[in-house]
Structure 1
Amino acid sequence: MKFNESVMSKLIVVFLFCCVLFACSKSSVVPKTAPEFKSSIPEDNAVGVKSSTNIEVEFYEDVSLADNHSVTLNSKFVKVKASSTKLIFNSNLNANTTYTINIPAGSVSSIFNVPLVEDIRLTFSTEESKIEEAGVNLVSTNPSPEATNLYSFLKENYGKKIISSAMANVNWNINEAEWVKQHTGKYPAIATFDYVHLPYSPVDWVDYSDISFVEDWWSNNGIISAGWHWIVPTYEGSVDYTYKPEETTFKASNVTIDGTWENTVAKADLEEIVGYLKLLQAKNIPVIWRPLHEAAGNTYEYTNGETWFWWGTDGADTYKELWVFMFDYFKAQGLNNLIWVWTTQTKDNAFYPGDNYVDIVGRDIYNNAEAASIAAEFNTIQQTYPTKMITLSECGNTADISEQWNAGAKWSYFMPWYDYERTNDTNESDFAGNVHEHANVAWWTNAFSNTYVITRDQMPDLK
């Protein structure tokens, strides 16, 4: 057969083209490798990290997270999400703490589903908690010597020790404190009361003019604290009372306006409660005073949140006017034995009456067993109000005080709320029980087992 050079040339060209094409196609195949660590925030071995820092771990390519990823922070499983090339941690950091991030092999995969081959382990430590010097003086004009002594005592111990407190059962007794003493052998240092039934006193079941047991507590070096669930008529002229905004036509915005029925009621109430507080002042008893608490309710916590008390319903500006109205009224009446506590719901700085009207900032926490998140709240509040002492003004079903303290929540004092059924009658058999709606005997025993928790027997004479 005769050789056809033209055909042969074409075949050679086709062959060479195929070779080039095959080589190119082989070189374009991307190798399927495991995820490769790139960087992290904070960096590995970083020190002095701010507790507000958000943790991120970045890779050189997009990654996905296994359903059973087992990623931990200080050996505890944490919420993590994959976003493009990063792992983003949902966790709160505490001050003065060393952290270790562990991302086990297999927890992360590349876009080709190739899993992480080796563990990634990163370590960093946060900065020390900074507690600035509390205000030099009380906000009250010419405070009594005893109020000044008490404030100085709180300042001296702030960040070093935490003072124990018990709430009255509803209003005017020391039943909760007696219950704690019965089961632990010690009294809390602070006895707290509530003037919630002001319109009814004095009657046989509540008489705020009987201060004998309050005097006794103070004479035994105990501290006195008081709050006020301020109940008002459900409508003008009503003899039914409430603090719930949905149950009354009483408007906080009218309290400071002369001639309104709300103004008339408020002035009468303030005059009455000043009389009761002056009974304590006459006995040289200072009072940690916490009125108009939790004003913002949960309005800043989630959509459709609401205020819980009438004093917060008309907004932050009205609330601050009401606070100053009370403050100025007390000042005009010569009350000088009070240490003023304002309660934050967090994210509610608009409700803050101002540094000139507040000595201590409180926070009420319930149903939170996570010491780390409690400490994170403490740190946030302290950073927001750096010249004020921060206190756990109410609590219930929380992490043990030892856990909170070790996590960095250096509260000035703590106070579990009362259990009505458990302590409403000290003579009933129920009073002997160890279980409690807000803080059982084990919780109190844990608190009192720590040398930094102050009980009444450890209190100095502040007279």
Structure 2
Amino acid sequence: MNSNMNIGIRSIVRLLVGLFWVSSFFACGSNDDGNGSDEPQLDAPQLVSSIPVNGDKDIPTGDLEVILTYDQNVTISSAGHSEVTISGATVENVSANLKKVTVCLSGLESGGNYMLKVPKGVVLGPTKVEAPQVTISFSTINTSEVKPVISELCVSNPLPQAQKLYDYLVSIYGKKTLSGSMANVNWNIAEAELVHKTTGKYPAIAFFDYIHLYASAPDSWIDYGNTTIVEDWWSQGGLVGAGWHWMVPAYDGAATDNMTYEPEKTTFRPKNAIVEGTWENRIIKADLEKIAGYLKLLQDKNIPVIWRPLHEAAGNIYEPWHGTAWFWWGYDGADVYKKLWIYMFDFFKEKGINNLIWVWTTQLNDADFYPGDAYVDIIGRDIYNQKAGPDNAVQYKTIDEVYSKRLVVLSECGSVATISSQWESGARWAYFMPWYQYNATTLAGHEHADDKWWTDAMTQDYVVTRDQLPSMK
């Protein structure tokens, strides 16, 4: 037999073998589900992530929503609710939406260890393929070890969502810290988007600034009445904060292009602002009326606001060189400032504003400026250019001792030690918020908190990101 004949025979054999395997594949029905169906079958749904994660600690007590995310759309079997179990607590509801399964729990007690079991067959794929069993273990915070802070908000009859947010902050205080980002000047989430682009996660809180209140109008370049940006953030599970660099006219009758918050650039004086009949009082009444309306828009949508007005009031007044206040609201000293704070508080109360959690910012040595527990919920501290974790921790501990019944937060920061080094040194801020860089397009080289700083923060298991927040609705 010649070589050409050998090659031909081998080719025929290979062809016959190939045809055999193809015919066997179709004859056996590789997609058969065991019931004679030839419909294609998807793989069983696989768990991608969970909130809380397996082994998580210091979960708040009471009610909890466990979120299970799968790699494909899922449904719940008809008997799913009765089959999901957790020892020592109650499964209130089990539901599925697209790729997420939500298990609502109640009755979680202080210092408890829990194991949630979702047996095989409870979660089903698009073609009823059963997902494997999922077991999530976690423990709740031991409230006996938590600093005893005041549990009631200073606002009477607070919005339920505001009280729920505050209760959450109290429950995790000292155990976890919420991440926050500042809007690029006023009404956007530009910095939050940069954090997400860099780390894959959004901060828990988006802070805004009503700095351009004087220019805000429906037909203006800025309109705080358009709350879409805030509503969208809230609907996606994020928390909302706001401050107010309160701009006033340089003098009575000055045009809106001559506004400032710097005391040396205006004749506007806070001691006159709280006196009826003065031009300063006319200005603050109009401004408070306007901003109360904007805050009411958020309240009507059940959105609580972490509210930080009249910040850093003392400025350099108590420094050894006896400097002055940085902002007009602190220019006339502590007594006037406190009256102005209370004036705003009472004004909002009369307008029925009850969605605010009030944050007062300390300069460490300015206790005379403190408005009092009846008007403040949280103590904030703004820190810049402190690169060592222990230096930041010293400030935290000082504030925590002076205002022992209040939560303490890092209300602003820039060019400070990493969150991990601060936390390890004992700075247990309830939340932190780096300042923005004007028109930044990347966190690389950011003047206040660069990509490395944020990556460190968002990889710590005690730092809460937006996706890890419980529902506040």
Q: Deviations over 1:280-312 (max 9, x none)?
A: 001000000000000000222321322100000
Distance 1:143 1:205 in 2: 33
The separation in 2 between residues aligned to 1:416 and 1:269, in whole angstroms, is 27
For structure 2, list consecutive stretches of 5 or more residues without a partner in the other structure.
Answer: 1-144
> Aligned residues: percent identity?
58
Matches of 1:433 and 1:288, distance apart in 2: 25
Q: Where does residue 279 of structure 1 map in the other structure?
A: 297
Give the secondary-structure state (helix, strand or coil) at the position aligned to 2:359. Answer: strand
In 1, Cα distance between the equivalents of 2:158 and 2:305? 11
Give the Cα separation in 2 of the matches to 1:410 and 1:255. Answer: 37
Distance 2:428 2:318 in 1: 24
Match in the other structure for 2:271: 253
CA distance in 1, matches of 2:270, 2:263: 10
1:61-119 residue CA offsets vs partner (Å, 9 max, x unmatched) = xxxxxxxxxxxxxxxxxxxxxxxxxxxxxxxxxxxxxxxxxxxxxxxxxxxxxxxxxxx
In 1, the alpha carbon distance for the partners of 2:413 and 2:204 equals 16
Alignment partner, residue 316 of structure 1:
334
- Cα RMSD of the aligned pairs, angstroms, is 1.0
Name the residue aligned to 2:28: none
Confirm or deny that 1:453 pairs with 2:435. no
Match of 1:125 in 2: none
Counterpart contact for 1:131–1:386, Cα < 8 Å: no
CA positional deviation for 1:435:
1.6
**Corresponding residue number in structure 1 for 2:226:** 210
Q: Which amino acid aligns with 1:171?
A: N
2:194 corresponding residue in structure 1: 179
* Alpha-carbon distance between aligned partners in 1 of 2:443 and 2:465, rounded to the nearest angstrom: 22
CA 1:163/1:384 → structure 2, altered by over 3 Å: closer, same or farther? same
Query: Can you list the C-alpha shifts for 1:132-151, whole angstroms capped at 9, x where unaligned?
Result: 31112000010010001000
Q: Does 1:193 align with 2:203?
A: no
Larger radius of gyration: 1
Aligned equivalent of 1:221: 237
Aligned pairs for 1:232-311 within 5 A = 232-239=248-255, 240-311=258-329
1:417 has 2:439 as partner: no
Q: State how far apart, in whole Å, the 1-side matches of 2:261 and 2:443 are.
A: 31
Q: Would you say the 8 A contact 2:238–2:466 is kept in 1?
A: yes
Amino acid at match of 2:342: V
Who is 1:170 aligned against? 185
Q: Secondary structure at the match of 1:434?
A: coil
Aligned to 1:440: 450
Q: How does 1:31-430 map to 2 (within 5 A)?
A: 132-202=147-217, 203-239=219-255, 240-422=258-440
Counterpart Cα distance in 1 of 2:333 and 2:190: 36
CA distance in 1, matches of 2:434, 2:222: 22
In the alignment, residue 165 of structure 2 is paired with which amino acid?
A: L
Shift of 1:131: 6.2
Quote the Cα distance in structure 2 between the aligned partners of 1:439 and 1:280.
Answer: 29
Whole-angstrom distance in 1 between the partners of 2:344 and 2:202 = 32
Q: Residue type of the partner of 2:167?
A: S
Looking at structure 2, the residues matched to 395 and 302 of structure 1 have their Cα atoms a distance apart, in angstroms, of 23
Matched-pair contact (CA < 8 Å) for 2:443–2:450: no
Greater CA drift, 329-338 or 292-301:
292-301
CA distance in 2, matches of 1:317, 1:195: 25
Q: Does the CA-based 8 Å contact 2:378-2:408 persist in structure 1?
A: yes
Secondary structure in 2 matching 1:398: coil
Q: In the aligned structure 2, how far is the partner of 1:230 from the partner of 1:265?
A: 11
Pairwise CA distance, 1:187: 0.4
How far apart are 1:433 and its partner, in Å?
Answer: 5.4
Instruction: State how far apart, in whole Å, the 2-side matches of 1:432 and 1:246 are.
Output: 35
Query: For structure 1, which runs of at least 5 residues remain unmatched after alignment?
Result: 1-129, 423-430
- Aligned AA for 1:356? A
User: 3-state SS of the aligned residue for 2:178?
Assistant: strand
Q: Given residue 445 of structure 1, which amino acid in structure 2 is its aligned partner?
A: T
Is 1:382–1:390's contact at 8 Å kept on the other side of the alignment? yes
Q: Which amino acid aligns with 1:329?
A: F
* Inter-partner Cα distance in structure 2 for 1:263 and 1:281: 26
Report the AA paired with residue 469 of structure 2: M
| Separation in structure 1 between the aligned mates of residue 373 and residue 267 of structure 2, nearest angstrom | 31
Q: Deviations over 1:239-260 (max 9, x none)?
A: 1110000000001001111000
Counterpart position of 2:49: none
Residue type of the alignment partner of 1:409: A
Distance of aligned partners of 1:131 and 1:460 in 2 relative to their CA distance in 1, 3 Å threshold:
closer
Three-state SS of the structure 1 residue aligned to 2:214 is coil
AA in 2 matched with 1:226: A
> Are the aligned partners of 1:131 and 1:382 in contact in 2 as well (CA < 8 Å)?
no
The normalised TM-score by structure 2 is 0.68
Mean CA deviation greater in 159-168 or 295-304: 295-304
Aligned counterparts of 2:240 and 2:470: Cα–Cα separation in 1? 14
- In 2, are the aligned partners of 1:294 and 1:344 still within 8 Å (CA)? yes
SS in structure 2 opposite 1:199?
A: helix
SS at match of 2:317: coil
Runs of 4+ in 1 over 4 A off after TM superposition: none
Structure 1: distance between partners of 2:302 and 2:443: 36
Shift of residue 276, structure 1, vs aligned partner: 0.3
Alignment size in residue pairs: 326
Measured in 1, the distance between the counterparts of 2:317 and 2:423 equals: 29
Following TM superposition, by how much is the alpha carbon of 1:204 offset from its aligned partner in structure 2, in angstroms? Answer: 4.1
Whether contact under 8 Å (1:233, 1:242) holds in the other structure is yes
The one-letter amino acid paired with 1:161 is: K
